[in-house]
Amino acid sequence: MAQSVESKFLIAYFLLVLSSTSLNAQRNDSLRLKKSLKEIQVTEEAKRQDKLRDVTQDGLNAARKTEVLKLSNMNVNLQGNQARAALAGFTGLQIAENDGNGLQLNISTRGLNPNRSEHMNLRQNGVDMSADALGYPESYYTPPLVLVDRIEWIKGAASLQFGPQLGGLVNFVLKSPSLGTGFRLEAATGLASFNQANGHLFFEKGWNKTGLLVFGQWRAGDGWRANSQYRQGTAYLAFKHHTNRGWQWEASYTYQRYLAQQSGGLTFAGFDEDPRQSVRSRNWFAINWQLGSVQVNKSFGNLNYQGRTFLTLAQRQAVGNLSRIFEFDRPESVRQLLDGRFFNIGHESRLLWRHELSGRPAFWLTGIRLYRGDARQFQAEGSRGSDANFSAVGDTLNDYQNPGRNVAFFTEYLWRITSKWSATAGLRREQIRTGADGFYQLLVRDDAGNLISRLRQEDQLNRNRTVWLYGLGLSYQLGADNELYTSFCANYRPVTFSDLRIVNPNFVTDSLIQDERGWSFDLGWRRKKQSWRYEVSVFGLWYSNRIGTLIKLDPRVFTEYRFRTNIGGSRAVGAEFSAQVENRIGAFKTDWFLSGSVNYARYTGGVAEVVGNVVEYAPSWMLRSGFGISWKKWQLMLIGSGTGSQYGDATNAIQTVAATSGYMPAWAVLDLSIRYEVKRFSVQAGIQNLANHRYISRFAGGYPGPGILPGEGRSFWINCGVRVL
């Protein structure tokens, strides 16, 4: 009954903001001519959503589905890294919210798995931020959203310029040091339900053509569920310098570490009884993440050069009980330890030539990528206690060195054929080598924990492949900021380290697993005026050799396990739409946005038990809307988020005994925030999941613990900030 009431309330909310927006938009048309130039400039700067420009220093974006989200203009809980509200403006973005503390970002699109954003090319300031771009593209590090200036998203066709990932590029652009002679110092702190607290300091200083930015943040709390305490610290340093000869240099360094207790999953019965409960108290997770980068830009007339060199030094550790969630976690029993260490270094260079072809503007972009990744994946029997002890005290289950090498070359050409028609064509060549060198060991113990048998197997694997990616785009200008566009692009995703070997009682991996390939298509119409914008598009994503899981029955012990293999091909077709309207009526300013998608994703071939089934983690619809109003120093924002029903695996199982997959009913939640500013002070407060809706976020087969991971219920938060200088 509670779910039905909230669903009706959410629908009513969407209708309310739609009707109010329609009336306000009409009023705005009559007032637009009365605005001064100064007011128009302020309104333009305040845009929360937009698209990437066709030509930037980073590359060519014409005829592509691109979105830009300006976080600094949003009245949401950025200090708490609350992704659901912060990223609500993105179209068709699925957010798995099993980590309500904002430690990890789990996002996907168009029927791809959101687990640790493994199908997205995640970057910070244009450089890789995941564990290993090729062999382990999972994201354990998430930038502090309060430090993010904007987020850029290029769907599908991003693979030509930035490398293969089927979900596209998501780039977190952090605040950059300001040049000049000024400086500022800001401090903020906040409290939230469940003993959560946070704080940050922001310092910025400029010296004519040089700028320095220093940022530090800490966060800690107990979490919504039992056994979910955490603490996190982040430091960021950026330095910018422009020389008299036109060279632009910027260097940055990021350090983040956190320790989190993990509640583990729940059975279906446990979720129905109390989603806040936990039956795992000995599971812990920690990261130690360092990112460094140097970027240089220089223009030589019509030729622009950009170079980025980056380095990742990172570690993620996990210890806990990964046995099936219905099995009792015996105190002092052996836990499993996973330790991953990653050292990545790379360089990307781009040349952009602006010229004319047949009297019309043209742009030629070419670039290279050199990348070396060296990872070590270690799994062993861990300590028997309950604390966050990441020491190996028992037998080693596997120990692998995973080298990765990548040399890529790409070229793209944009030609303004006429004043209305533009064409973009591109080609990318990827030379990829990944491997595994080590051993794995299978241990069999009785119920008392005594070792019965041991099998050690040496393992070595090298995979070399050359991959060609290609794409084409067309756009037609109906008028100023009124455009039709279409694009097609091939894509690719190599097998990851985890697909090759991991010891997990809930998983069995196919030793013959192969790389994935895909193709994406977009056709859309976007239009923008001074105070409003909208975009509608249709898409297609064809996927071959798709890696997924099947539920199998072990005939020896008659228990279920998940078999990971290439389960076949899939096709996702659908539509995406977004709109935004800003109005100023007297002393009031209103801001409304809407984003949504419909998706028909089905398996078209492969193993017999999945053909014709719905693709897992592919909701048939998603809808988000926000309505904000500002009056003098006050701001209020209400955001509604709804997601259709989904399945947790390709077999479309309704329920499984181990709860590692099943049916996920549709859900909808509301988030409310209010802000007051006076001079140098600001106070912001809000309620997340206003109606305390209960829903399943996703299913886990391993960490943070097998079983159902529930979305978080109602919580309250308050943040206070002051600008000292």
103-141: pLDDT as tens digits: 999 999 998 989 889 889 999 999 999 999 888 888 899
pLDDT-derived band at 609, boundaries 50, 70, 90: confident
- Give the pLDDT confidence score for residue 585 in this predicted structure: 86
Q: Average pLDDT of 16-44?
A: 38
> Residue 216 above 60 pLDDT?
yes
Q: Which helix (H) or strand (E) is 208 found in, with range?
A: none
Q: Average pLDDT of 206-211?
A: 93
Q: Which structure tokens are listed for 344?
A: 């990545």
665 SS3 class:
coil
Please tell me the distance from the alpha carbon of residue 560 to that of residue 707, in angstroms, as a whole number. Answer: 13
Please tell me the distance from the alpha carbon of residue 567 to that of residue 261, in angstroms, as a whole number. Answer: 34
127 SS3 class:
strand
Q: Give the ranges where 87-215 is alpha helix by DSSP (H).
A: 159-162
Higher pLDDT, 380 or 181: 380
Q: Average pLDDT of 376-392?
A: 93
- Give the pLDDT confidence score for residue 556 in this predicted structure: 59
> Residue 449 above 80 pLDDT?
no
3 SS3 class:
helix
Q: Which structure tokens are listed for 681?
A: 């002070």
Please tell me the distance from the alpha carbon of residue 246 to that of residue 626, in angstroms, as a whole number. Answer: 43
Of the candidates 394, 496, 501, the residue with the CA atom closest to the CA atom of residue 458: 501
Please tell me the distance from the alpha carbon of residue 211 to that of residue 203, in angstroms, as a whole number. Answer: 11
* Other CB atoms within 10 Å distance of the CB of residue 393: 14
Query: Taking a C-beta distance cutoff of 8 angstroms, is the pair 658, 325 a contact?
Result: yes
Bridge-partner residues for 507, per DSSP? 562
399-437: pLDDT as tens digits: 999 999 999 999 999 999 999 999 999 999 999 998 888
Q: Which structure tokens are listed for 96?
A: 């798995």
Of the candidates 455, 463, 435, 448, the residue with the CA atom closest to the CA atom of residue 503: 455
| CATH number, domain containing residue 208 | 2.40.170.20
Which range has the worst mean pLDDT, 145-159, 448-462, 697-711? 448-462
- Give the pLDDT confidence score for residue 5 in this predicted structure: 44
Q: Write 509-514 long-range contacts (CB < 8 A, 24+).
A: 509/563, 509/564, 509/565, 510/563, 510/564, 510/565, 510/566, 512/565, 513/547, 513/564, 513/565, 513/566, 514/545, 514/566
50-82: pLDDT as tens digits: 899 999 988 899 999 999 999 877 889 999 999
Query: Taking a C-beta distance cutoff of 8 angstroms, is the pair 434, 463 a contact?
Result: yes
Q: What does the DSSP 8-state code read for residue 180?
A: B
- Give the pLDDT confidence score for residue 74 in this predicted structure: 82
139-150 b/e with 16+ CB inside 10 Å = b? bbbbbbbbbbeb
Average pLDDT value for the chain: 88
Higher pLDDT, 43 or 604: 604
Query: Taking a C-beta distance cutoff of 8 angstroms, is the pair 104, 142 a contact?
Result: yes
Bridge-partner residues for 207, per DSSP? 210
- Give the pLDDT confidence score for residue 674 in this predicted structure: 97
Write a three-state SS string for 399-468.
Answer: EEEEEEEEEEEEEEEEEECCCCEEEEEEEEEEEEEEEEEEEEEEEEECCCCCEEEEEEEEEEEEEEEEEE
75-104: pLDDT as tens digits: 899 999 999 999 999 999 999 887 778 899
pLDDT over 70 for what percent of the chain?
Answer: 90
Of the candidates 319, 297, 282, 316, the residue with the CA atom closest to the CA atom of residue 251: 297
pLDDT-derived band at 506, boundaries 50, 70, 90: low
Query: Taking a C-beta distance cutoff of 8 angstroms, is the pair 350, 366 a contact?
Result: yes
- Give the pLDDT confidence score for residue 504 in this predicted structure: 56
- Give the pLDDT confidence score for residue 6 in this predicted structure: 46
- Give the pLDDT confidence score for residue 48 in this predicted structure: 64
Write out the residue range of the structural domain in which residue 56 sits.
2-723
Which range has the worst mean pLDDT, 18-22, 244-248, 391-395, 685-689? 18-22
Higher pLDDT, 403 or 3: 403
Please tell me the distance from the alpha carbon of residue 314 to that of residue 342, in angstroms, as a whole number. Answer: 5
Query: Taking a C-beta distance cutoff of 8 angstroms, is the pair 413, 425 a contact?
Result: yes
Higher pLDDT, 363 or 394: 363
Q: How many domains does the chain have?
A: 1
22 SS3 class:
helix
- Give the pLDDT confidence score for residue 605 in this predicted structure: 86
- Give the pLDDT confidence score for residue 462 in this predicted structure: 83
Of the candidates 598, 514, 487, the residue with the CA atom closest to the CA atom of residue 109: 598
pLDDT-derived band at 513, boundaries 50, 70, 90: confident
Query: Taking a C-beta distance cutoff of 8 angstroms, is the pair 458, 439 a contact?
Result: yes
Q: Average pLDDT of 641-647?
A: 96
pLDDT over 90 for what percent of the chain?
Answer: 66
What phi and psi, each to the nearest 5 degrees, are found at residue 65?
-80, 100
pLDDT-derived band at 546, boundaries 50, 70, 90: confident
Of the candidates 521, 627, 632, 621, the residue with the CA atom closest to the CA atom of residue 577: 621
Residues 6+ apart with CB under 8 A from 331: 386
In sequence order, what DSSP letters do the residues of 408-420 get, joined into one string?
A: EEEEEEEEE-SSS
Q: Which structure tokens are listed for 397?
A: 């289950």
Terminal Cα-to-Cα distance of the chain (whole angstroms): 52
299-315: pLDDT as tens digits: 999 999 999 999 999 99
